[in-house]
Amino acid sequence: MHLISVVALILNLAGNVGQIDKGLADGLRLGDEGKVFYTMKVGADVRRIDVGPAEVVSIDDFSARVRLLGNTPARGTYSIEFRVPEDRNSPEQIVRLARLRLDEQQPETVLRYLARLEDFRLNASEIQAANQLRSKAQTIIEKDRRTRERGTPTTTRPVREPVDQTAETKTEIGRLLAAHDIEGATALIDRLLAAQPSDTQALAWRQAVGLARKHQGMARMEPGTYAIGLDVEAAYYNERPRFQIQLKGFWIDPRPTGTPGLTSKDAERHCKSLGKRLPTELEWEAAATAGVISGKTGTQEWTASWYAAYPGNVIREDQYGEKFKVLRSFPHVHKRRFLDPSLSTPEVTFRCVCE
């Protein structure tokens, strides 16, 4: 993926939080990280002084807020550089944003967006769309100029009826969701709900987007019947007998987290902070045998299950009961180990699941 450099000013940096103007905010996503810096003239040279990294923590209709991740510099104005995928500023994206700004009666912003197209080789349809938008924006600007010359307030710009704006916004949200642009859809859903808090379709979209965010990067396990355990002679006694279980559908991290050495309770707390939970050992084994997850050889993983005999296994041992939590690992996905949930070792890690 080709990355391009995008530089803008951080305005009103106070403490470790500042704002970026809307023109750049449209090219960013929540969580994007950039490098904050300022320039200093030393003799005949202009030197760049790096302050530290920062991340985008919120985006609204007018600006993006960034938070510095390192030391807090003195109050002032700084620059920030992001490396973002080039296709975020594709002609199609720029035209789409320009059209939205035109709907909001912001002709000057439209012209600034269209100026970006000079860096691209456009096809015939893109040239036509850009020319139409430019003409409409210039018409609005010229009309405002004439209105000012007549001494009439410029607040009489024609504004589309709210119903039309709502319909167009919903159409755009549907298009963004179909394109899996979760961030873009979220911004428009928030804008729609700010204007119409009880809009049922927008509320349903917000719930769907919330689930989509939670499921990002996770693997889907479909509901169904799964076989657990082994019936072969070489199987260890606690891996027998083989039996069938019925599982509801769920989502699971395809690989364990990169945070090893936590106790079971700490792992549970981490998953809960994400709106998720630890998998049961049956969910873990079903996902492992279905091939939707993978792991590193020698790494053990916490599950939410207490160590107990499988159904139909009459062999008893003292470790059964609510004393130890089951650990699972690759490549021997049927092997059952156990550990005191208050303990951990560097090779113990975990993964999360959610509905």
pTM of the model: 0.53
Q: Are 329 and 284 in contact (CB under 8 A)?
A: no
Burial class (CB in 10 A: 0-12, 13-18, 19+), 302: buried
pLDDT means per 10 residues in the chain (355 residues)? Answer: 60 68 62 77 70 79 73 64 67 78 79 77 87 91 84 50 64 75 79 84 82 83 94 92 95 90 92 92 96 91 97 93 96 95 92 94
3-state secondary structure of 68: strand
The pLDDT score that the predictor gives to residue 55 is: 83
3-state secondary structure of 1: coil
Instruction: Say which CATH topology domain 3-89 has.
Output: Thrombin, subunit H (2.40.10)
CA distance 309 to 194: 54
The pLDDT score that the predictor gives to residue 43 is: 64
The pLDDT score that the predictor gives to residue 60 is: 66
What tokens were used for 347?
Answer: 């090779």
What residue segments make up the domains of the chain, in order of their start?
Answer: 3-89, 160-216, 221-354
The 10 Å Cβ neighbour count of residue 311 is 11
CATH superfamily to which 221-354 belongs: paralog of FGE (formylglycine-generating enzyme) (3.90.1580.10)
The pLDDT score that the predictor gives to residue 174 is: 78
**3-89 and 221-354 in the same fold:** no
Q: Are 28 and 56 in contact (CB under 8 A)?
A: yes
The pLDDT score that the predictor gives to residue 20 is: 75
What tokens were used for 244?
Answer: 């069938």
The pLDDT score that the predictor gives to residue 62 is: 58
The pLDDT score that the predictor gives to residue 163 is: 40
The pLDDT score that the predictor gives to residue 315 is: 92
The pLDDT score that the predictor gives to residue 263 is: 93
Q: Are 303 and 280 in contact (CB under 8 A)?
A: yes
The 10 Å Cβ neighbour count of residue 272 is 12
The pLDDT score that the predictor gives to residue 198 is: 86
